[in-house]
Amino acid sequence: MSDQTRLRLAKSARTTMKDAKLIGPADPDEKMEVTIYLRRGSAGVYPNIAQQASSPVKERRHLSREEFAKAHGASSDDIAKVRQFASQFGLQVKAEHPGRRSVVLSGTVEQFSRAFETKLVFGLDNRPQAKPHFRIRRKPAGQAQAHDVQAGYNPTLVGQAYDFPTDASEITLDGTGQAIAILELGGGYNVSDLNSYFNNAAPNVTAIGVDGGSNSPTNDPNGPDGEVELDIEVAGSIAPKAQIGVYFAPNTDQGFLDALTSAIHDTNLKPSVISISWGGPENTWTTQAMNAFDSAAQDAATMGVTIFAASGDNGATDGSDDGSLQVDFPASCPHITGCGGTKLVLNGTTITSEIAWNELNQQEGATGGGVSQVFPLPAWQQNANVPNSPSGQPGRGVPDVAGDADPVTGYSVLVDGNGAVIGGTSAVAPLWAGLTALFNQSIGKPVGFLNPLLYTPGGMATFHDIVVGSNGGYNCALGWDPCTGLGSPDGAQLLSVLSSGQPTSTQAQAKTAMR
């Protein structure tokens, strides 16, 4: 391959970690794997996703995974070119995934350095690509060390407060016949914890390894196990009869994206909903990685797969190194529904107060949100009064929806045998994933890409509009805002809109005044 046939990709390197030091070249004999992502095939016209998603669910036509692979998977010619490229540089083709549009190559550092004309180095920049977005409630001084499981909300109670539908046409809505995918980049779950938490009636949970990842509990309740078990216990409480696939992958952009595409194209489990509770500031990602994620999410939308992602737990800066205003990715991906956080106060199942989650002064975090500096303003957000991004340009507003996330009003969970109260926007993504599984069961087909329909007048009328609070950079306001998006859900009302295009009443609109 000559230099004339190569195209160097701008903005393809991660930003240098502060105070990182270059120690020297990487071991040339070290084995590694690289995933090559290919363009879509041209066997069919790619659907107009936004146009289809603006219609009531019953009118939508989604492709099956098999139909998608045949019409839009990687072409045999493109895969053959990758094989030829690999052979030229002594690389091995480890796996080919035409539907996922990817080919996995393996080889040594020296071989990959020659193949891609890049220098791989060894140093102190071994940071993971993403962080989990959960917060364990801190204990006031003098409180007993043992966690009080009863101190938080059971997820089913939160679902009742948000009027999640429980029956439709004499059918109990419990997720029967549905499958939910949960992406994890570390940690694991203990079956004994799930059996105990669900009183020996745990949902059907399957661990699925990606790129060498596996269900590997650390037995540290303060570590990544807290994320994994929170996600399963929240989603499983809302949709107890749904199958749950937990996709474990290494915490790299390659592992993260491979986990996403594995879930989207899984012809065995066939999940129609994906929950993502990991992410990081946009400025810590390469442009190529973000574009590849968005492309994969577009593919998911054509197949009726709904994706939710937590918007982050560090307020409007998203924990950026320089303290600048940043939104969390992948929540900022336009084809993913970003999930922000609230502080929810209940009297029984009645909401007495709900404001934006912001406990920054107590080091308890705050809901992420703001305006993307990477993705332009989507057509379906044109009338949402999204402010310009910090760079002064229009951008995609984050989040889209919200739910209880403040650890002070968090969820009672069981992690590594210990009861805990955990919040964070991590809890909101599986909460919405469970709710969507109920929608899919009720309607009899997947709702798919939600965002365009949520921003219609009918969709917006189904939310509890959160008008009080901030996230340290933006304030709540009437309608959409960069703290809690459109607000928290009235599940029954939203189901009505997804089914027919209209809410059953103006009940949801009246709830704004209470906040």
Rounding to the nearest 10 degrees, give the CA dihedral for residues 193, 195, 196, 202: 110
Please check whether residue 333 is in contact with residue 290, taking contact to mean a CB–CB distance below 8 angstroms: yes
Cα dihedral across residues 385, 391, 396, 402: positive or negative: negative
DSSP secondary-structure letter at 454?
Answer: H
Output the DSSP codes for 21-41.
Answer: -EEEEPPTT-EEEEEEE-PPP
Residue 89: in which H helix or E strand, if any?
none
Catalytic-labelled residue, pool 33, 184, 211, 227: 227
Whose CA is closest to 283, among 22, 484, 11, 8? 11
Which pair of structure tokens corresponds to residue 63? 């492709």
Asked if 439 contacts 173 with a C-beta cutoff of 8 angstroms, the reply is no
**Residue 231 annotated in active site:** yes
Is 122 buried (19+), middle (13-18) or exposed (0-12) by CB count in 10 A? middle
Q: Per the residue annotation, which of 54, 412, 426, 470 is the catalytic one?
A: 426
Query: What distance in Å separates the CA atoms of residue 25 and residue 331, rounded to the nearest whole number?
Result: 35
Active site residue 66: no
Closest CA to 257 of 221, 225, 293, 223: 293
Helix then strand count (H, E) for the chain reads 14, 25
Give DSSP secondary structure letters for 144-200. Answer: -SS--GGGSB-HHHHHHHTT---EETTEE-S-TT-EEEEEESS----HHHHHHHTTT
296, 261 contact by CB (below 8 A): yes
Please state, in angstroms and rounded to a whole number, the distance separating the CA atoms of residues 168 and 187. Answer: 37
294 is catalytic: no
Strands 411-415 and 418-423 come out as antiparallel
Catalytic annotation, pick one of 184, 225, 231, 481: 231
The token duo for 373 is: 């500096």
Residues marked active site are found at: 227, 231, 426
